[in-house]
Each structure stands twice: as structure tokens, then as C-alpha cells.
Amino acid sequence: MSSEIDTLKLELQPFIKRSVTTGPGNAPGTTLVDATLVEAVNFWNGSWLLLRTGTHAGQVRRVTAFAAGTVTLDHTVGGQIIAGAQYVMLLRIPVDIIAGGGLKADLRQVLGQGADIAPGNELLTEDTGLNTNPERWMQDHHWECDQVTVTPAGAPGQQNLGVVVPAGVTRRIRVLHVRHAGTNNTVVTLLIAGGAVKRSWDIPAQTTRVIPSEDGWSFTAGQQPAVQTSDVTGGSTYVGAEGVQA
């Protein structure tokens, strides 16, 4: 049974109906009867009932079906609802006040979870397909390589950024850190070693640049990220990279 303060917290949530039951629900405690429910069949499906008075005051039950002709709601089991019981229809239920028992099991069913949400058992989402915390995902799949030094110009000075991309993953370089110590301007080129050029940038003499990409320059399994410079007169060019690999 929820406490009174929990019940009040629920009442502060957005609601779409307050009403009073006009007849008793069935003995197993899976129906609610209210003659004022005139909406279309299944209109209330997925909503939550908060019982305010009666034997089961403070309970919350999920609506599973609504038969408009009989003004009857089917809901998760919890004991018979008497006639004259006040209730509130909620759009959602805050997870922080859910206690154990049938309600938690019902919520697990709605969310498709076999157990409590915890590390290793995050909710699946359409955007990442893995977990609901983008920052954590970035940390779990962070990739970076040691700084490389480009001394000769062009292909002879090519330096690899990290190892070849392993099978089954894609590496996205999201930031390049470039420090050009040369006395002439140079062009820094990011490319697939022995293959296509991804991007190139003009870098003034004796400057440092941080070059970002929101989505990242993509390298697939078996490809080797690399960098070259066009001029190293008077000093070398130093390049580091970081991103994600998953």
C-alpha cells in the first residue's frame, strides 16, 4: 500500500480525469465501473488509475482494456473496487515512488524488462539501441590515439592514427588536435592509409588547431586512419585524434 505522501505526489502528476465509480468492480479486482466513461473503446488503454478512497485507497493500477458499452475498465489485479470510490486517471506514473509487488512487475512488463533497471540492464532505445545515457555511451566507447609526429612532407611522412580498425566496429574520429611547428604554412590531410582522402585543412605556420566533427569521420573495419602534411619547413607537425569506436 502506498503512503499518503506518495498518493499526494501522484495527484500532482498530470491527470486527464477525476471521477467516482458508479458500481462495484468484479470480485477478482480487475475491473472498474463508471457510467461517466463515454469515450471510444480502448480509449483509456495504457493509462493509470490512482484510487483515492475505498478499501484500496492509494493504489495505482494500469488500464489494460476499456469496453465503452459496459462503461468498464479492465486493469491490473489489486482487489475489488467498490461503488462510490474516488479515483484519478493519470497519463503516467513517476518511477521514484513505485514499491515492490504487482505494480513493479506490471511496469517491467510495460517496459519490456525482466528485472530492475540497473547497469547492464538498461532500457533499449531506438536512437542508440544500447542504453539511455548518451554520455555514458560516449565514455564506454571512447577512442583516442597517441600523438604522432610528421617530419617528411607528403606520403613519405604519413603517420597512422592508432591501429587498424578491428572487425565488427566503426571508428569515428570526432576531434583532431594539430600543432604545426613549421615556419611555412602546410596542409594537413586525414585519409585512409593507401586510400581515399577524408578531409584536408590549411594550417598556418607555427599554430595550433583543434578541428572538430560533430558526427565524426568514419573508418570501417580493416581501414587504417592516417595523416600527412604538405610542408614541414622549419619544424614538424604533431597530430592527435580522439572519437568513438563501436
Task: Look up the CATH architecture of domain 4-111.
Answer: Beta Barrel (2.40)
- In sequence order, what are the beta bridge partners of 202? 187
Q: What is the pLDDT of residue 98?
A: 46
Looking at per-residue confidence, does 69 or 54 come out higher?
54
What residue spans of 112-216 are helical by DSSP H?
A: 134-140
pLDDT in tens, 135-173: 777 888 999 999 999 999 999 999 999 999 999 999 999
Q: Are 50 and 77 in contact (CB under 8 A)?
A: no
Q: What is the pLDDT averaged over residues 199-216? A: 95
| Multiple choice CATH, 138-245, 3.40.30, 3.30.1460, 2.60.120, 2.60.40 | 2.60.120
What is the chain's mean pLDDT, rounded?
82
Question: Which pLDDT value is given to residue 48?
Answer: 85
* Phi, psi of 38, rounded to the nearest 5 degrees: -115, 10
Query: Can you give the pLDDT at residue 111?
Result: 52
Which residues face 186 on adjacent strands?
203
Report which of residues 69 and 80 the model is more confident about: 80
pLDDT at 190 over 50: yes
- Using one digit for the tens of pLDDT, what is the confidence trace for 77-86? 889 999 999 9
Q: Is the pLDDT of residue 1 over 70?
A: no
What is the C-alpha radius of gyration for the chain, rounded to an integer number of angstroms? 31
Query: CA 188 from chain center: how many Å?
Result: 36
- What is the residue extent of each domain of the chain? 4-111, 138-245
